[in-house]
Chain A
């Protein structure tokens, strides 16, 4: 039965070169590029701008909607929390002082914080391009193709596969509860907040129990069909030389930008 469900597939279908490129190349390039971004020195804005170019080019080439990419890149927001204290702890020229607390923010501190923010945002942006232009199952195959440990790829694969099943199960539980959440004239309905919280806790608990039991059934069913710890997919197409070359060029570009900034 179709159930309204908040999670949706990350992948946006398309036929651009970014979509069609071998997932292994895309994954490897993205990871290498994120490392290249990580080397950026504090306050090296020109480097960050140059590094942003290939990411923006990929977004344009894949024709990804800007609003969608921006929304997904907000995933970088939690890093703000980790980086903000740096603005106040790094010694340097005082720029402003927080009233009441008496913390002083230094110019150096603010620069360090904004650099970290820009770097994390750019890295997340690169990852967003990857996940939006590559189907999730292809990414798992790419992990396997790049010889990431089997157990890890299996965990990623099954998390993705059953995320939707468990999400729908949670949706049905909520539906079941809502069906019996009634109001009777003359009574105060809804129960106390602690009671409602307990109900939600029980729902989470029962969802966990069911998922756990389901995993045992799924595993038994897989073993029955010969599962030995390795997910086997029909063999990949061979790597295309042009795509590998393009990938290497992108990574070299990132490294070259970093190297030039340090000369």
Chain B
């Protein structure tokens, strides 16, 4: 087994405690280095699927990250492999300063002090937030919070990134910068979003989910051109062939 897939999911089913079935049999394989978009209507199960990747939620079936199967024993190991970005940065940022928050992951892993500082500073630089280390997270703008939240994930050095709506609530400029950043990062990515413009720009492969199932999986340009499929799953075809995203 020389090159295990970054993400391998088999027969994954999940139900919320209130009995709502959220995932109804997901099979998915993402190779290392692939950048995959996850689209679909609200309630399709996109966030639920992302939270399965690092075991925050656990269902029936199997999830493996780079050959490590997610189970009770591997939970903490898997969290070093998958960086999970929550849709609301306020859920991610709980420390009194930006630096503390970015340093949390590396500190928890028990890395030496210099390494923690190096990673935190590097991650902040990557998202263009150097110099904000001493600021209070809840006083930042939405775009800044979002970037800090991404830095907290990058600082963990995880080879797989699971990002939940990274461009939601961002002003156009901040959104552009983020799209540029995601395009430049070398990590394997599975990114849930409603931003089809970003999907077109960054992700060669797209997965469409609806009602807890994968209903389409393939080449982004082909899927985004399939207007009837997009409309059937509550997605808005953007004028990609002649619009600003072309």
Contact = CB atoms under 8 A, between A and B. Distances in A.
A and B from one complex: yes
Interface in B129-165: 137-138, 152-153, 156, 158
A238 B25 CA distance: 53
B90 interface: yes
B26 interface: no
A143 B86 CA distance: 40
Contacts of A187: 109-111
B86 A182 contact: no
B138 A182 contact: no
B76 interface: yes
Interface string B91-109: 1111110001000110111
A178 interface: yes
Interface residues of B, number: 38
Given A4-B17, A181-B76, A183-B79, A176 B111 contact: no
A20 interface: no
B20 interface: yes
Contacts of A179: 54, 56, 79, 84, 86, 92
A199 B95 contact: yes
A182 B152 contact: no
B47 A182 contact: no
A82 to B, nearest CB: 36
Contacts, number: 96
Contact of B107 (A178, A195, A203): A195
Interface in A1-47: 1-2, 4
A78 interface: no
A183 B151 CA distance: 19
A184 B94 contact: no
A202 B100 contact: yes
B221 interface: no
B16 interface: yes
Interface stretch (A104-112, A134-142, A204-212): A204-212
Contacts of B242: none
Given A173-B94, A181-B79, A183-B79, A189 B20 contact: no
Given A187-B111, A188-B110, A190-B108, A180 B156 contact: yes
B96 A189 contact: no
B91 A176 contact: yes
Contact of A184 (B51, B95, B109): B109
B1 to A, nearest CB: 18
Given A180-B105, A184-B109, A191-B110, A173 B47 contact: no
Interface centre among B84, B91, B111 (most CB of A within 10 A): B91
Interface in B100-126: 100, 104-105, 107-111
A187 B76 CA distance: 12
Contact of A178 (B56, B109, B158): B56
A175 B86 contact: yes
A162 to B, nearest CB: 16
Contact of B16 (A2, A178, A181): A2
A176 B138 CA distance: 15
A158 B83 CA distance: 36
Interface in B1-26: 16-18, 20
Contacts of A173: 91, 94
B77 A182 contact: yes
Nearest to A181: B108
Contacts of B95: 199, 202, 206
A177 interface: yes
B80 interface: yes
A175 B56 contact: yes
A172 B91 contact: yes
Nearest to A186: B110
B88 interface: yes
Contacts of A191: 107-108, 110
A3 B88 CA distance: 14
Nearest to A2: B16
A175 B79 CA distance: 12
A182 B108 contact: yes
Interface of A: 1-2, 4, 169, 172-173, 175-185, 187-191, 195, 199, 202-203, 205-206, 209-210, 213
Interface of B: 16-18, 20, 47, 51, 54, 56, 76-80, 83-84, 86, 88, 90-96, 100, 104-105, 107-111, 137-138, 152-153, 156, 158
Given A180-B152, A181-B79, A202-B100, 9 more contacts: A2-B16, A180-B79, A181-B76, A184-B109, A184-B111, A189-B110, A199-B104, A206-B94, A206-B95
Closest 6 CB pairs of A and B: A182-B80, A183-B76, A182-B79, A187-B110, A180-B105, A172-B91
